[in-house]
Structure 1
Amino acid sequence: MTNGGRRLTPSEREEIISCAATGESLTAIGARYGVTRQAIRAVLRRNGVPPRRTGTLTDNQRNEVLHRFLGGASLNQIAAEFGVTAPAVRGLLTRRGIEIRSVSHGLRHDAFDNFDPETCYWIGFLFADGCVSYRPGHIPQISVGLAARDREHLVALRSFLGCDNSISATSPTHGSCQFSVRSHRLADRIVELGRYQQAVDGRLVGSRDFWRGVVDGDGSLGIYRRPAPSTRSLTQFRVVGRRHVLEEFVAFLEREGIVGLSVRPHRSIFTVGTTCGPAERIARLLYEDAVMALARKAEIAARMIARQRGAA
């Protein structure tokens, strides 16, 4: 239990770390999740995320901040360089009368307006691994953090969105890199499609591309060695997330002939999982001839598909 009166789920804690890494204030994060600023600070401390310094810039550093911003650097880049928060940089620029760039160059604000396979994939990925943040007086932000080994997937997302936003260097504390964009239209679209609510848009629930995005964001595929004396390895599929999303996933699988799965509570989140034949059928359904996928999961899925074909 947090000192804010409610228990945060593991997925919410991951979102909090991602939002904090982009410079969002602890107070704003706490308000969104219904806990105190101190509870948010405690989450960051337990996950090895150090507090950012604020108010420590010298006059020369403040002048350099202005120079860097006018030269094209983003708020997040400057904040990381000087060891302060992005809101602190924004405040300094505002006090100096400098207009803040409000949108990313080239960003496709209509990127989520259709339901082609690649769009459905990225919507699903952000449903699982993205964080949508709203703060009074600021443009809403969509942020996502991935492990350093998956950095190229953030490059692919940035390319899809058509923008030039930077991807942060890998954090030495929690080993992830961050990417974010600001857009009223994109943020509102993710929310209205069911990211946080109790109903996922029907145009998404029938898309294997959407579900592959969800699995790439918060799922796992694996091939594991069984204990001796067995010589045959074990294949496994698992995905975690919010209950209303996973219930739609189970219904999707049933319509595709993969039955017998259920949504189960796992600590403070929910999960769907299976092994052997059903796991291999799910891998084939989601990943065979995929238009977009996380490289390391696609590689495991290909091996699972080969096993399934060999057993047929």
Structure 2
Amino acid sequence: MTNVGHRLTPIERKEIISRAASGESLTAIGLHFGVTRQAVRAVLRANGVAGRRTGKLTDAQRNEVVSRFVGGASLSRIAAEFGVTAPSVRGLLLRRGVEIQSVSHGLRHDAFDSFEPDTCYWLGFLFADGCVSYRAGHLPQISVGLAARDREHLVALRNYLGCQNSISPTSPTHGSCQFSVRSQRLADRLIELGRYQQTLDERLVASRDFWRGVVDGDGSLGIYQRPAPSTASLAQLRVVGRRHLLESFVAFLECEGIVGLSVRPHQSIFSVGTTCGPAERIAKLLYEDAGTALARKAEIAARMITRQCGRA
């Protein structure tokens, strides 16, 4: 085991928070990242996230949990109300003999098998903002968390996957909501295409939909006022992530005639970004006449495209 401060990157800390929110045990998370349970707990505390609670409910509360579920409340809502995890609520209900209908009914386990535009988009989004986690005795879990303002994007992902898995209520501590599914085939496909490897499938590298998903997941678009006394504004695009992912993004842009960008260290991760005309050209390349996109970033991209077209 190793000390958390010397090993974990910001991306890994983000994944730790996501895994803990989805119900994975601190021990399993620590084993995955090669750190101690205490180190995982320290990351959660530093980010205002409560650790997983077990065995905290009284007999009266357990009875109330059963009553609330039979009355129609979802696992995630009950978990939020009682300060425990959804998996612990599920375990209690199963021990009480309560039948739980699978919310994954209809889940498209082949959803990532093709390279259609929507498929590539969601792959890019999950490569940037999602994680695949493993826990003994359970199917692999694909999970993603977004700020409350982007909750509808999780609804869109859920609709694409064809299931009815719940989206958690907004956390009062870090303001995000979580969505996850369990599927061996979906997890294997993400790994196979390069989610945690040093190379990406070439079909993804060549897809503007994939890169729009990456930008929606871990990028930023903006039009900012230049410092005074200038009255002009400045378009900007920036993406953060792992080096190999961003190097592939730069290679994609070069194939599209957008050159001069480089991957730079940013704290313990990497970033690539640009401003003005190049940023507007990238926005046009990724978002113009696009299908699926995060609404608020698509709106900014549209403004950037208008600026670019106005100077053409």
Q: When the two structures are superposed, what TM-score results if normalisation uses the length of structure 2?
A: 0.93
Instruction: Provide the residue aligned with 2:118 in structure 1.
Output: 118
Q: Please state whether the residue corresponding to 2:23 is helix, strand or coil.
A: coil
For 1:172, what is the secondary structure of its paired residue?
A: coil
Deviation at 1:55, TM superposition (A): 0.9
Q: 1:72 to 1:123 in 2, by over 3 A?
A: farther
The DSSP-based 3-state class of the residue aligned with 1:261 is coil
Contact 1:68 1:78 in 2 (8 A): yes
Distance 2:77 2:110 in 1: 26
Deviation of the 1:90 alpha carbon: 4.3
- Give, as a single letter, the amino acid of the residue that structure 1 aligns with 2:162: G
Report Cα offsets for 1:34-85 as digits up to 9, x if no partner: 1111111111111111234321222233234445556776544442232223
> Is the 8 Å Cα contact of residues 132 and 187 (structure 1) preserved in structure 2?
yes
The secondary structure found in structure 1 opposite 2:7 is coil
Structure 2 residue identity aligned to 1:28? A
Equivalent residue number for residue 47 of structure 2: 47
Report which stretch shifted further, 100-109 or 163-172: 100-109
Question: Please, which runs of 5 or more residues in structure 1 have no aligned partner?
Answer: none
Letter in 2 for 1:298: A
- 2:193 is equivalent to residue 198 of structure 1: no
Q: Which moved more, 1:56-65 or 1:11-20?
A: 56-65
Which secondary structure does the structure 2 equivalent of 1:209 belong to?
Answer: helix
Q: Are 1:182 and 2:182 an aligned pair?
A: yes
* Aligned match of 1:22: 22
Q: What's the secondary structure of 2:305's corresponding residue?
A: helix
Moved more, 161-170 or 251-260: 161-170
Query: Does the aligned pair in 2 maintain the 1:103–1:182 contact within 8 Å?
Result: no
Equivalent pair of 1:103/1:183 in contact (CA under 8 Å) = no
Shift, 1:3, TM fit: 2.3
Cα distance in 2, alignment partners of residues 244 and 71 from structure 1:
49
Provide the rounded CA distance (Å) in 2 between the counterparts of 1:282 and 1:175.
30
Q: Deviations for 1:271-309, whole angstroms, at most 9, x for unmatched residues?
A: 011111111110000000010110111111111111111
Could you tell me whether the CA contact under 8 Å between 1:102 and 1:182 is conserved in 2? no
- Provide the residue aligned with 1:209 in structure 2: 209
- 1:291 corresponds to which residue? 291
Alpha-carbon separation, structure 1, partners of 2:194 and 2:112: 13
Runs of 5+ consecutive residues of structure 2 not aligned to the other structure:
none
Change (3 A) 1:188 1:66: farther
CA distance in 2, matches of 1:184, 1:70: 30
Residue 29 of structure 1 deviates from its aligned partner by 1.1
More off after superposition, 134-143 vs 73-82: 73-82
What pairs with 1:114-193 in structure 2 (closer than 5 Å)?
A: 114-193=114-193
Q: In 1, distance between residues paired with 2:195 and 2:219?
A: 16
- Paired with 2:101 and 2:34, the residues of 1 have a C-alpha distance of 30
Q: How many residues align?
A: 311
Structure-2 separation of matches of 1:106 and 1:61: 32
Question: Any idea what SS the aligned residue of 1:239 has?
Answer: strand
In the alignment, residue 109 of structure 1 is paired with which amino acid?
H
| One-letter amino acid of the structure 2 residue matched with residue 213 of structure 1 | G
Tell me how far apart the structure 2 counterparts of residues 114 and 67 of structure 1 sit (CA, whole Å): 43
What is the Cα deviation at residue 4 of structure 1?
4.4
Name which of structure 1's ranges 258-267 and 13-22 shifts more when overlaid on structure 2. 13-22
Cα separation, 2, equivalents of 1:132 and 1:15: 9
Moved more, 171-180 or 10-19: 10-19
1:12-91 to structure 2, matched below 5 A, reads 12-67=12-67, 75-91=75-91
Could you say if the C-alpha distance between residues 137 and 75 of structure 1 is closer, same or farther in structure 2, counting changes exceeding 3 Å? farther
Q: Could you tell me which amino acid in structure 2 is paired with residue 308 of structure 1? A: Q
Shift of the 73–109 alpha-carbon distance from structure 1 to 2, 3 Å rule, reads farther
Q: What do residues 184-231 of structure 1 show as CA deviations (whole Å, max 9, x unaligned)? A: 111111111111111111111100000000000000011110112222
Instruction: Check conservation: 1:6, 1:35, Cα contact below 8 A.
Output: no
- 1:113, 1:72 → 2: CA distance? 35
Residue pair 1:236, 1:279 contacting (<8 A) in 2 also: yes
Q: Within 1, Cα distance between the matches of 2:186 and 2:74?
A: 20
- What is the identity, as a one-letter code, of the residue corresponding to 2:266? H
SS of corresponding position for 1:297: helix
CA distance in 2, matches of 1:88, 1:167: 17
1:271 and 1:120 mapped to 2: Cα distance?
22
- Partner amino acid for 1:158? R
**In structure 2, do the counterparts of structure 1 residues 254 and 275 end up closer, same or farther at CA, with 3 Å as the change threshold?**
same
Aligned position for 2:301:
301
